[in-house]
Structure 1
Amino acid sequence: MQMARIDSPECRRRYSERMGTVEPVFGNLRCNVGLNRFTLHSQIEVNTQWNLFCLVHNIEKLAHCVYGARR
């Protein structure tokens, strides 16, 4: 029963969108930025570190978009 739902055209479309939008973010943070582990221990510190890495990722995207358009 569950497999039929996963194989439906709607679920396949949603999954393909996820692969195109979410997975590259984690790949970039892990491979290019070097976020393999959090260096802090408390939940607040880990959340702060995660937000900082996400901020850096978004700034890099904006910089590539702006500077790429000028060339």
Structure 2
Amino acid sequence: MGEPPFAHIRSIIGLDRFTLRSKKKINIQWNLFCIIHNLKKVHAYGTGFV
């Protein structure tokens, strides 16, 4: 399947294909899904800096 973050974004978050057109909009959408992935990790595991 590939790297775990890509598999997580594809299966759990549901990004099977991009819904926007143009490279700029796709980059924005991809960055949004990466931010969501990272926020879910922080929420699940905590920051660890406390």
Whether the TM-score (by the shorter chain) exceeds 0.5 is: yes
Q: Which is richer in helix?
A: 1
- SS of the aligned residue for 1:31 comes to helix
Gaps of 5+ in 1: 1-21
1:44 paired residue among 4, 18, 24: 24
Specify the alignment match of 2:12 in structure 1: 32
Higher relative contact order (Cα pairs below 8 Å, separated by 6+ residues):
2
Instruction: Calculate the aligned-residue CA RMSD, in Å.
Output: 1.5
Gaps of 5+ in 2: none
Amino acid of the residue matched to residue 65 of structure 1? Y
Amino acid of the residue matched to residue 38 of structure 1? F
Q: Is the radius of gyration larger for structure 1 or structure 2?
A: 1
State the number of aligned residues: 46
Q: % of aligned pairs identical? A: 46
